[in-house]
Amino acid sequence: MSKLHIVLLILFPALSLNVRADEETKLPAPVQPRLTSVFPMSAQPGARLEVELRGEFLDRVNRVLFETGDLSGAVLSSTFTSARIQIHVAAGAQPGARYFRLLSQRGASNLVLFRVSRWPVPLESEPNDELDSPTVVSLPVLINARLSSMNDVDLFRFHAKNGERIQFNVLGARNWTPADVSLAILWPNGREIVHDEGRFIWDPYIDHMFEKEGDYLAAVTVTRMPAGGQSRNDLNYQLAIGRSPFIWSLFPFGGAKGSTVEVEMLADFVPTSPVVIFSEKRIDARVQAGIRNNCCKILTAIAPDATAGIHELLLAENSGILAPAKFAVGDFPECLEVEPNDSARVAQTLSFPATVNGRIDRNGDEDWYRISAETGQALTFIIDAEKYGSVLDSQLTLLDTGGRRLASNDDAKWPGRPLNRDPLLTYRFKEKGDYFVKVSSPYQRGDPDHVYRLTVRPQQPGFVVSLNSDRAVVARGGSGKLGISVVRQEGFEGDVRIDVEGLPAGVTAKPLIIPKEKDSDSLVVEAAEGSDQPLSEIEVFGAAAIGGNEIRRRAWLPPSRFQGSGPGFSDYTPRKPLLSVVDAPWFSLESAASTVYLVRGGKAEFGVKITRRPEFTAPLEISSENLPAGVTIDQVDFIDEGRMARITLTATESTPQARIPDLVVVGKSREKKESAPRISLQVD
Amino acid sequence: MRKNSPRRRERAKATLCVFVSLWFISLAAAAQTPKTIPTLKEIFFEPKSVFLSGAGESQTLIVTGRYSDGSTRDLTREVNFSSNDTSIAEVNSAGVVTSKAPGMTRVVACLDSTAQGSQAGNSSPLRTAAKVGNGANLSALALVVIRELGGPRKLSFANDIAPIFSRAGCNASGCHGALNGQGGFKLSLFGYDPDADYQAIVKDNSGRRVDLKYPEESLILLKPTFTMRHGGGQVITENSLEYRALHDWVAAGAPQGRTGGPRLEKLFVYPNDQRFLTGPDQKQQLVVVGKYNDGREVDMTRLVRYSSSDETVAMVSQGGLVQPRRSGETNIMVRSLGAVGAARVAVVLRPPLAAHQKMARNNFIDDLVLEKLEKMRIIPSEICTDNEYVRRVYLDLIGTLPAPEEVRAFLRDRSRDKRTRLIDALFKRPEYADFWSLKWGDLLTNSPQFLYNGTAYFQSWLRDAFAHNMPYDRFVRELLTSSGGTYQALPTNFYAAGKKPEDMATFTSQAFLGLSLECARCHDHPSEKWKRDDFLGLAAFFSQVKFKNGARNNERFLYVDPEKEFQHPQTKRVIPARFLGAGNADFRPQEDRRARLAAWLTSPSNPYFARAITNRIWRELMGRGIVEPADDFRITNPPTHEVLLDRLAADFVKDGFDLQHLMKRILMSRTYQLSSRTNETNHDDKTAYSHYHLRRLTAEQLADAISQVSGVPEKYPFFYPGKRAIQLPDPIVDSYFLTIFDRSTRENATCTRKQSASMAQSLNLVSGETINAKLRHDKGILARLIREGKTDKEIAEHFWISTLSRAPSKSELKAAQEGISRGQSRREGLEDFVWALLNSKEFLYNH
């Protein structure tokens, strides 16, 4: 008896029970397209190229929507699990990351990344698994490649000169793909020179000086297969080999409005005359001195009307792989940490409100600041570091002059941020007097890249509202939900009222108040039958009464991927959430198993649950997409009054051993066609 | 070229063989013809002084004779004893001194006059072994001090009764000392908790185990004498001292004595240096003195339990008399009341050597090893050939076979220091760092089971440490004190996931001190001095270690919570951090305790640290530790060459904890360079380092060697072709070959790889794809050599040197060519030939 037989014997009664329990209330729900991979992931300015997308529910995609206007695209074809689109990059497009999604009658897909580069962007050429058959590349290069299994190896041969320093930068996690890979530089005979498993998130980065002129190999392999089996078709990555600027840190990484700040930039591969570009136009930057020891000074003038908040700093370059560094514009007076300030005895005095820019510049360093507080005064202490790209995971400690610890914080809640390890502390002082604020690393680690900003200001009770997704869908004549979270800060404990702007005609949102004892809920959106605007940009707000004032704040959108931080990480956040209004599906399918195991020459059964609108009773024709050669649907039995399809697959003896990660079951009735979510098929 | 022509080589080899044979024959002849008989130079007491408290206390003494050749012998049964003042102390003919009154006197041992003048050939053991030298001191004195007597000493359960249960084995782990006891009767393991034992014997079960009115009806007498049915059988007899002591104690009302009174602290075993028993009837009496924490010393010779670590070498009676059985070394362990001690005994039943052959000595290792070999009457093997040396040192130091051109270059080199220079060159090879990081990965459990994705990161740190020859003290300090993310601060991976402070105490003591403390986790160590509080005190250094999650998959950040204390697992009282055997640690506020632990642990004055790593490295290179197992240093498992271990450790410390210096010191010794071929005096030697210990190649060495010889790299899942097995970061990398050849699973700290022999191994080598597919491969070396038009002879010679690091003999070459010609095709014949080489013992073993 096959594994599946056993699974089915166990699953079917349970599934049947579930169906009966839910059948009265459950209607087929709309599902939006989902993209899982893009290949290739880059193009040069002026290029027009075909790109293969993979995912699910892609069958009706009809539009490519870029977030910026310098790239455009059109859908060429699509199936349930793949789509081919054509992308056109404007000739004047600047190198860097771009983001797009697909639109369809089902709604909007998630965002995916595409990179513009002036470097050559070749595709790997398989087979390139053996030492004597690598893909040959010339430098600089941004290679588009993909791995398919734990046994797959991508080998690239390149030439290096004696004394040449070359950067090898794999973009996997930072391209939002699940490719967790390792990189090794080899002699042509396969002996390893250097390797890296992943410096950024799980992306390897090697900066190597070659001591001998000759041909070398770069080998990329899977480090660990993501969940879902031994083979995948979404392990795409880019390998940049060349010399592209790489910013490690800025110090200070912010300044007050109306001030001029000398910023020290620590970076590698910076050109001799770098051009600095700020995303905030009211910041003027001028490189003050040439590069010395990977360090240069940037004189940064911040206009008095510059927008407070986080902005981006870029160096003009060609590869398109440079990630921006973060630069903050603050509302309060700012100063720099003055060493030595390593103990209470030599603590630096701060008046507040103020922001001090410091760094834990060596192992074991502690930065001490002295403040004076009044009796009953409540102050808030905020560290900005890791959430804006610093490598510092900081710790904040408040002490009295006797050295007694009054309060401390290591990791605060920072909604909407990929990492939550920056501290935040609010403290009400019982007595007037001097106190110390200590900033340190819990690991006693430090170097010049461990930069931070400490802001001390009076307590400001408030809250942050954030959305769980940047896209919602609602069926005409039905309702949809948008998850919302609230984080109350600095002593605020009240209710938060949620409201929405930008809803199209015929769509309404149910009033929602998140009471003080809850920190999350769902906003219910309803669409009338005749709603005819398929896609809208909406805005969600939270409002609360604090200190007698009505405070209203725009909800944060989640970054497109929560995969980490640090240099090289791009935490792009879409502008506004999208609401799609779609027709409710007539039926939906859901497989009972996530993986089907099939033995060559054998059969396997699995169940697919069918949910129908009450008025839809037509018979369904069951087929599939992505069945490998040699495997066919042998039989389909409808059971449980048509609420379940029992599908029997059969494999010939000659079917190759394989794992198919994106098998979908398709149901069809005349022009109505739906698929189940992707499952895996393992043929052994 | 002429110099190295095969004919010349053969001739040279034949000459060498003749020379070696003649040399060996002369040694063998010398071994059988003793020219001189050692003379007795002096006799002396052990212990040299006796301190007794109270009347009727006694102490056994032994008398040892020292001979002109430096050997010693137990003469206790050969001498006459007398006391200078019998009103203070008496001594009987067995050497037992008994106190009579306070005061000080001496006891005298005199050798029998007939023995003094006797010659070898008489019946006495003394007489058969030696003659007495002229002018020898043939009497010995021992000081006897009797302290204030007072009234009769009160019986104490802890001091007088509990040792009887240890001696009879009642509280052993297989009997009532088991976790749940036996038959409803539970004693503390090896008697480490006498208060609990008293409770169990006298109070529990309504006190039915002792009958105060009719003592002989007590269960504690009826059961061990088997008067009543007893699962453990008869363990004492009714006429024994033990029975009498138990009976009298019950008759006296089964007193507990003073609770919290003096506790046995230490056992001293005499003789305290290694004794060599050189005749089948030469016995050695042991004397055991117990030292209590009030300063009192008590003769426990008849109160302790004795056991021999190798009963095939020597047995020990429960009276402490050691009897030899076959040549070899053993330790006699003594145990009582949670204290332990050991005596080291070597049995040498080989005929004496007239004069030990003078072997060239390269450094102090050879001096010390040869000194012992002489005592053991063992002739060391000859020095290995250059072919053997180059293969051996490559495999031992970089885990890799030398390539044919490397072998040839080494053989061509005529300089005297070429072996030394080869060692230096190998240290610089990347494979050196790969191989030693693999070994340390085994020891430090570098496995996804504990580190998830962190294995490659940890391996890269280990690799860098070995590549740059990081001083070992710094290496350990960095491991112990690291903080930060497991993917950035790479030594933090030492703190494997899910390990508690107790786990870290076990792990740290095992890895860096060579101490197995796991027993002391739950109870006092049964065969060491470590108490449970010692263990918990060590664990307390790790109580501040905490983790939080990072953004990446399974990424963890280690940080120190200075407020966190370590609590006793049961009582929840706070346990102070305590250095092993060195008292409690004091800390400054907010101090990271681990830094203090690391400073103590890596201090040059730490008695364990340098010795443990020295022994570990010695074991890796020599095949057997001076202490074996290498992570089980304990009183009852003493070093086989204590002075050598101390000298090596001192040299290692003096040279700045330089691992390469230590390895080089060992590799340069002639002892390391001895042949694995044995002679009739050392074929059964396992402990004295008289020859190189044959070792099967480890799984990784073997896999890489097959790939290297065939020229077809193995392709491991997740890695590029060419990644060698010694470079793999963890044991999860799928490889059936590595698994069946005993790759470490790293589920526990692996100090020593298994060396199993299994059917799966044989079948894989004989008919599996590991060898056969590589030999058939079109891109392999065999296919290339055929394409290049090489002759069968040239191909045979190539593979001979690439597999065995030597050229074939004429007869071997002839046989090979004949074998090749018998193949169904030339290619097949050649494949069969290489297959045969790869399946030969000479290839599969490091020799």
The DSSP code sequence of B7-18 is HHHHHHHHHHHH
The pLDDT tens digits for A317-350 are 999 987 788 999 999 999 999 999 999 999 999 9
- Residue B505's nearest CA partner among B431, B388, B597 is B597
Decide if B721 and A150 are in contact by the 8 Å CB cutoff. no
pLDDT at residue number A4: 40
pLDDT at residue number B482: 94
**What is the rounded average pLDDT for all residues in chain B?**
86
Model confidence band, residue B152 (pLDDT cutoffs 50, 70, 90): low
What are the angstrom distances between the C-alpha of B248 and each of B206, B208, B211, B391? Answer: 21, 17, 12, 69
Decide if A202 and B552 are in contact by the 8 Å CB cutoff. yes
The pLDDT tens digits for B477-516 are 999 999 998 888 899 999 986 679 999 999 999 999 999 8
- For residues A73 and A86, the answer to whether their CB atoms sit within 8 Å is yes
Which residues of B are less than 8 Å from A151 in CB distance? 715, 717
pLDDT at residue number A123: 96
Percent of chain B whose pLDDT exceeds 90: 54
CA A183 to chain CA centroid, Å, is 22
The total of other beta-carbon atoms located within 10 Å of residue A184's CB is 26
pLDDT at residue number B752: 79
- Residue A205's nearest CA partner among A216, A187, A224, A218 is A218
- For the record, the structure tokens of B187 come out as 């004693």
For residue A475, give the H/E element and its range.
strand A471-475
CA B482 to chain CA centroid, Å, is 31
- A51-61 average pLDDT score: 95
Q: Where are the beta strands (DSSP E) in B257-406?
A: 264-270, 275-277, 284-285, 287-292, 297-299, 305-308, 314-316, 321-324, 328-336, 339-347
**How distant is the Cα of B485 from the closest Cα of chain A, in angstroms?**
8
Q: Where are the beta strands (DSSP E) in B493-593?
A: 545-549, 556-560, 578-579, 583-584
Residue of chain A with shortest Cα separation from B715: A151
pTM of the model: 0.83
- Residue B460's nearest CA partner among A160, A443, A164, A184 is A184
- B671-700 average pLDDT score: 94
Model confidence band, residue B357 (pLDDT cutoffs 50, 70, 90): low
Decide if A192 and B727 are in contact by the 8 Å CB cutoff. yes
CA distance B419 to B668: 8
CA distance A226 to A232: 9
pLDDT at residue number A200: 67
pLDDT at residue number A436: 98
CA distance B536 to A269: 52
**SS3 (DSSP) at B139:** strand
Interface test with B, best of A154, A192, A194, A366 (most B CBs within 10 A): A192
**SS3 (DSSP) at B739:** helix
**How distant is the Cα of A197 from the closest Cα of chain B, in angstroms?**
7
Signed CA dihedral, B395, B400, B403, B406: sign only: negative
For residue B156, pLDDT over 90 is answered with: no
Which residues of A are less than 8 Å from B456 in CB distance? 182, 197, 223
pLDDT at residue number A589: 95
| Cis status of the peptide bond prior to A504, with omega within 30 of 0 | no
pLDDT at residue number B788: 97
- Please state which of the ranges A47-51, A122-126, B35-39, B345-349 shows the lowest mean pLDDT: B35-39
Residue A107 burial (CB < 10 Å; 0-12/13-18/19+)?
Answer: buried
pLDDT at residue number A379: 97
Cα diameter, chain B? 101
Decide if B717 and A419 are in contact by the 8 Å CB cutoff. no
- Residue A251's nearest CA partner among A339, A174, A345 is A339
ipTM for this model: 0.81
Decide if B721 and A186 are in contact by the 8 Å CB cutoff. no
- Please state which of the ranges A370-384, B152-166, B645-659, B823-837 shows the lowest mean pLDDT: B152-166
From the list A192, A410, A564, which residue is nearest B552 (CB)? Answer: A564
Q: Is B257 left (phi over 0), alpha (psi -120 to 50) or beta?
A: left
What are the angstrom distances between the C-alpha of B166 and each of B57, B171, B231, B264? Answer: 21, 6, 17, 13
Interface test with A, best of B719, B728, B734, B784 (most A CBs within 10 A): B719
Decide if A443 and B557 are in contact by the 8 Å CB cutoff. yes
Residue A547 burial (CB < 10 Å; 0-12/13-18/19+)?
Answer: exposed
Residue B643 gets which letter from DSSP?
H
For residue B123, pLDDT over 50 is answered with: no
**How distant is the Cα of A374 from the closest Cα of chain B, in angstroms?**
28
Decide if A151 and B715 are in contact by the 8 Å CB cutoff. yes
Which residues of B are less than 8 Å from A445 in CB distance? 483-484, 489
Which residues of B are less than 8 Å from A129 in CB distance? 721
pLDDT at residue number B16: 33
- A259-276 average pLDDT score: 92
pLDDT at residue number B15: 36
Interface test with B, best of A443, A449, A562, A569 (most B CBs within 10 A): A443
CA distance A52 to A40: 7
The total of other beta-carbon atoms located within 10 Å of residue B113's CB is 10
Q: Where are the beta strands (DSSP E) in A105-230?
A: 107-108, 112-116, 135-136, 141-149, 153-160, 165-171, 181-186, 192-196, 205-209, 214-222
Decide if B430 and A191 are in contact by the 8 Å CB cutoff. yes
Look up residue B518 and give its amino acid.
E
Decide if A419 and B551 are in contact by the 8 Å CB cutoff. yes
Cα diameter, chain A? 85
For chain A, how many helices (H) and strands (E)? 1, 56
pLDDT at residue number B356: 59
Which residues of A are less than 8 Å from B721 in CB distance? 129-131, 153, 190
User: How far apart, in Å, do the first and last CA atoms of chain A sit?
Assistant: 15
pLDDT at residue number B234: 84
Which residues of B are less than 8 Å from A189 in CB distance? 722
Q: Is B83 left (phi over 0), alpha (psi -120 to 50) or beta?
A: beta
- Please state which of the ranges B521-530, B634-643, B676-685 shows the lowest mean pLDDT: B521-530
Decide if A190 and B558 are in contact by the 8 Å CB cutoff. no
Which residues of A are less than 8 Å from B733 in CB distance? none
pLDDT at residue number A388: 85
The β-bridge partners of B447 are: none
Residues of A with CB under 8 A from a CB of B: 129-132, 150-151, 153, 155, 180, 182, 184, 186, 189-192, 195, 197-198, 201-202, 219, 221-224, 391, 393, 410-411, 418-419, 421, 441-445, 562-565
- B243-267 average pLDDT score: 81
pLDDT at residue number A417: 66
Which residues of A are less than 8 Å from B460 in CB distance? 195, 197
CA distance B10 to B813: 12
CA distance B630 to B609: 12
Percent of chain B whose pLDDT exceeds 70: 90
All residues at 6 or more sequence positions from B107 whose CB lies less than 8 Å from its CB, including other chains: B45, B50, B61, B81, B82, B83, B84, B89, B91, B97, B141, B142, B144
Q: Cα-flanking dihedrals φ and ψ of residue A315, to 5°?
A: -105, 135
From the list A150, A155, A443, which residue is nearest B484 (CB)? Answer: A443
| Cis status of the peptide bond prior to B808, with omega within 30 of 0 | no
pLDDT at residue number B75: 92
Decide if B457 and A197 are in contact by the 8 Å CB cutoff. yes
Residue of chain B with shortest Cα separation from A188: B722
Percent of chain A whose pLDDT exceeds 90: 73
Residues of B with CB under 8 A from a CB of A: 430, 453, 456-457, 460, 483-485, 487-489, 548, 551-553, 557-560, 592, 713, 715, 717-723, 727, 779
For residue A55, pLDDT over 90 is answered with: yes
- Residue B553's nearest CA partner among A73, A226, A231, A518 is A226
Interface test with A, best of B435, B720, B726 (most A CBs within 10 A): B720
Higher pLDDT, A295 or B708: B708
- B252-272 average pLDDT score: 82
Decide if A190 and B723 are in contact by the 8 Å CB cutoff. yes
From the list A189, A222, A393, which residue is nearest B557 (CB)? Answer: A393
Decide if B718 and A564 are in contact by the 8 Å CB cutoff. no
From the list A155, A201, A442, which residue is nearest B552 (CB)? Answer: A201
Model confidence band, residue B23 (pLDDT cutoffs 50, 70, 90): very low
For residue A7, pLDDT over 60 is answered with: no
For residue A582, give the H/E element and its range.
strand A578-582
pLDDT at residue number B117: 36
CA distance B590 to B616: 35
- B310-324 average pLDDT score: 93
pLDDT at residue number B436: 98
**How distant is the Cα of B716 from the closest Cα of chain A, in angstroms?**
7
Higher pLDDT, B24 or B585: B585
From the list A155, A197, A565, which residue is nearest B551 (CB)? Answer: A565
**How distant is the Cα of B539 from the closest Cα of chain A, in angstroms?**
21
**How distant is the Cα of A229 from the closest Cα of chain B, in angstroms?**
14
pLDDT at residue number B13: 37
- A186-194 average pLDDT score: 91
- B572-587 average pLDDT score: 89
CA distance B35 to B33: 6
For residue A448, pLDDT over 50 is answered with: yes
For residue B712, pLDDT over 90 is answered with: yes
| Cis status of the peptide bond prior to A127, with omega within 30 of 0 | yes
The pLDDT tens digits for A558-617 are 876 545 555 556 678 888 999 999 999 999 999 988 899 999 999 999 999 999 998 898
Decide if A443 and B558 are in contact by the 8 Å CB cutoff. yes
For residue B9, pLDDT over 80 is answered with: no
CA distance A647 to A636: 5
Q: Cα-flanking dihedrals φ and ψ of residue A416, to 5°?
A: 75, 10
For residue A419, pLDDT over 80 is answered with: no
**How distant is the Cα of A268 from the closest Cα of chain B, in angstroms?**
19
